Structure 1
Amino acid sequence: MTIQDTTSAHGPVPKLPWRKTPLIESRALSVLLGCQVYMKMEMFQPSGSFKSRGIGNHCLRAVEACPAGSPPVHFYASSGGNAGLAAVMAARSLGQKCTVVVPEATKEFMREKLRLAGGEVFTYGKSWVECDQECRRLLALDPDGVYCPPFDDPAIWEGHSYLMDEIYDEIGRPDAVVTAVGGGGLLIGIMEGLDRYQDGYDVPVLAMETLGADSLHQSLKEDQLVALPAITSIATSLGARQVAKKAFEVARRPNVRSGVVTDAQAASACVRLLDDERIAIEISCGAAMAAIYSGALKKSFRLTSESKVVVIVCGGNSINLATLEEYREVYHKPLVAEETV
């Protein structure tokens, strides 16, 4: 499913805020797992992560909904990472403005990325909750403002779901899908995409988190939504204290499994992928890759040599050579899978 020939009150939209990404078979991972392992390269989205799909779709829908002759939309996002950059990139591609409020802990190189992409950047608060409150305060002062949520919105889930159409177009029905989970927007999109092919209760899905950012895993263990008291994982892109209600609902399906790895396991997976495939990913994406390197995927599902496994290389911008060198020195040790539920 794709969206084409898009127009808005401001005229034709020249291009979508996201793009089709490559689906690449990894020989190294295939040999390791004993089946066909494909990487869905969401790191090649305009913003560097899968967030371009969901947030791009949200922004596109907002522009489309503008009455004829209305002024340009001004988007407001609260994120110190991938969601904020996706909002800025989507707004720019649609000819609109975007303001991003980031928490104080956001690294300067990430703030500079937001500015270079064309965003107006404000710093406020020690946590996302505080900076989101400031974002909403600024939004209330702007009659042309539109809030851009990071993950909990139907338009965002719809945008993420399109990656499943691309997968089905290339290899048909996958035998398993592996994804990292933060707030749960990507997981919801994957399940919605599978539902379009009547596979939403059949294709195995492994949802991976890091210890200390495992709000979905804890919710499934307690059989109710759980809000973590704090995020203690260094995988800050997975740092939603509570997942979206819809994510909890789809994760309770019988074909979905939840897995948890440590920061060290996720970081080590980043190093191993760099060595195996010359691909640099941030630690949040490393949580998904650790499912393969640690053996968690083999423990969760029965796979044969003919099985087609797709791991979502969700991308991310919080990675550079210095960080990978730190991961190699501090964390790169043999991986052991945590128990899955």
Structure 2
Amino acid sequence: MSNSDTQNLWQETPLLLSAPISRLLQVNAFLKFESAHPSHAYKFRGMSLFVRRALQTHGNSVHFVIASGGNAGLAAACATNIAGARCTVYLPDGAAESTIKTLKGQNAQVILAGKFYLEAYKAAEDAVLSNKNTIMVPAYDDPILWEGHSSMVTEISNQLKRWAVDEPDAICCSVGGGGMLAGIIVGCKKENWDHVPLVALETIGSNCFHHSILLNSSASSSFATRLPPYVTTVYDESSNLNLAHFNSFHSKASGSLGASQPATGTVKMALERKGGIRCVSIPDELSMQSAVAFANDHKTLVELACSTTLSAAYKRQLLDTVVPPHPDGRRRNVVFIVCGGFKVDLKDLAEFEKEVEAEIEKNPTGKWEVVYNDGEVVNIDYMANSAENSA
């Protein structure tokens, strides 16, 4: 593909009406399969737009640099490979061989630097500073990325018309640093959907966005006022916002959802949005259970970062809590963003299934504790709407 090509590098992804989830939830459940991108995740949208804009501005010889062994790094590698540009990905020592192999498969140069991500990031920054022909690629905190991600909402709007649906009753997505959520907010504004409820789901132990929203609210619950010991408050003077900064992560989904703190712009847009944001924090095990159920129902593997969204698709009580049924009984139209992720395989799914089974075996009548909005709690039965009874 020519670097001068002005067309977007991504292709439209499918929006499918899920029969098993629709039946389970008694809604029209639409799945936006962002896992269909070359990098297996939604990040390819914004990343490829960033690459194309940079090539137009700086020319074909520009060298892209990013520090990320996750979906942002692979999205950058895929986008630059398609565009015929150079890309170097910095990873900490000990990065998985499978990740290195995947990145090199997209013709990216991989450099191992430091023992931790921050050390790899510093090495990437130093490389950019020492070479004027290089550009540091952002992972999630950049308006160009958000603009690219917003295209999924434009597609959803056009695709829903096939079912004679003008707008959804809610859009559910997961949140890490907030790049995807920012894109959805921007996309909703373009479609005049500012009033459409957005449900932002995270795992407890990596939920920096939920905590950040509450730090800027008047909520008085213990969840809102008592931060975990591994979380500190950072004040951003330019936006006059308080942000939750995670000094460590306590969630297995942190490989993709584990941003130290959310993008300031995302928090600001969320707080100002007419329709607001409905925040949900769930335990890892609920996300694992949803990943297994989704694989069984839709023959698709997704990371925990993605199955966190799907927890609302497999627990009717949870969806009804954050997106209540219509008083007149009309069927709800709910979109779930299947954001994907490349760091998952059959072995992971088998482990997820074992962990969930062990938890249920210890306490067959147990409940998942889910925190939503200002700190309200809903307890959901382990076995309610499980993969077995969704069939």
| Aligned residues with identical type, % of pairs | 31
Q: Name the structure 2 match of 1:324.
A: 349
> How do residues 83-98 of structure 1 correspond to structure 2 at under 5 angstroms?
83-98=72-87
Q: 1:281 to 1:335 in 2, by over 3 A?
A: farther
2:284 corresponds to 1:269: no
Larger mean CA deviation between 149-158 and 252-261 belongs to 252-261
Amino acid at match of 2:246: L
Larger mean CA deviation between 326-335 and 126-135 belongs to 326-335
> How do residues 190-205 of structure 1 correspond to structure 2 at under 5 angstroms?
190-200=184-194, 202-205=195-198
Q: Name the structure 1 match of 2:212.
A: 219
Q: Name the structure 1 match of 2:332.
A: 307
Structure exhibiting the larger radius of gyration computed from Cα positions: 2
Q: 8 Å contact 1:219–1:226 — kept in the other structure? A: yes
Q: Name the structure 2 match of 1:3.
A: none
Q: 1:303 to 1:105 in 2, by over 3 A?
A: farther
Give secondary structure in 2 for the equivalent of 1:117: coil
| Deviations, residues 111-148 of structure 1 (Å, cap 9, x unaligned) | 11001111101122333322111111112222221111
Tell me how far 1:105 sits from its aligned partner: 4.9
2:372 corresponds to 1:340: yes
Q: 1:145 to 1:180 in 2, by over 3 A?
A: same
Q: Name the structure 2 match of 1:284.
A: 305
Q: 8 Å contact 1:78–1:101 — kept in the other structure? A: yes
Q: 8 Å contact 2:283–2:369 — kept in the other structure? A: no
Q: 1:117 to 1:56 in 2, by over 3 A?
A: same
Tell me how far 1:52 sits from its aligned partner: 0.2
Q: 8 Å contact 1:43–1:50 — kept in the other structure? A: yes
Q: Name the structure 1 match of 2:46.
A: 54
Q: 8 Å contact 1:104–1:124 — kept in the other structure? A: yes
Task: Give the alignment partner of residue 242 of structure 1, picking from 261, 275, 299.
Answer: 261
Tell me how far 1:293 sits from its aligned partner: 2.0
Larger mean CA deviation between 82-91 and 170-179 belongs to 170-179
> How do residues 1-341 of structure 1 correspond to structure 2 at under 5 angstroms?
11-12=4-5, 16-66=8-58, 70=59, 72-171=61-160, 172-200=166-194, 202-223=195-216, 224-235=242-253, 236-252=255-271, 253=273, 254-294=275-315, 295-304=317-326, 305-332=330-357, 333=360, 336=368, 338-341=370-373
Larger mean CA deviation between 301-310 and 237-246 belongs to 301-310
Tell me how far 1:101 sits from its aligned partner: 0.6
CA distance in 2, matches of 1:17, 1:135: 25
Give secondary structure in 1 for the equivalent of 2:9: coil
Tell me how far 1:335 sits from its aligned partner: 6.5
Give secondary structure in 2 for the equivalent of 1:151: coil
Q: Could you list the runs of 4 or more consecutive aligned residues of structure 1 that deviate by over 6 angstroms after TM superposition?
A: none
Q: 8 Å contact 2:175–2:202 — kept in the other structure? A: yes
Amino acid at match of 2:45: R
When the two structures are aligned, how many residues end up with a matched partner? 329
**Where does structure 1 lack aligned partners over 5 or more consecutive residues?**
1-5
CA distance in 2, matches of 1:131, 1:229: 17
- TM-score of the two chains, using structure 1 as the length reference: 0.92
Tell me how far 1:16 sits from its aligned partner: 3.0
CA distance in 2, matches of 1:126, 1:209: 27
Amino acid at match of 2:324: R
CA distance in 2, matches of 1:328, 1:258: 26
Tell me how far 1:199 sits from its aligned partner: 1.6
**Where does structure 2 lack aligned partners over 5 or more consecutive residues?**
161-165, 217-241, 361-365, 374-391
CA distance in 1, matches of 2:109, 2:79: 14
| Deviations, residues 139-185 of structure 1 (Å, cap 9, x unaligned) | 22222211110000010000000000000001131110000001101
Larger mean CA deviation between 123-132 and 278-287 belongs to 123-132
Larger mean CA deviation between 246-255 and 55-64 belongs to 246-255
- TM-score of the two chains, using structure 2 as the length reference: 0.80
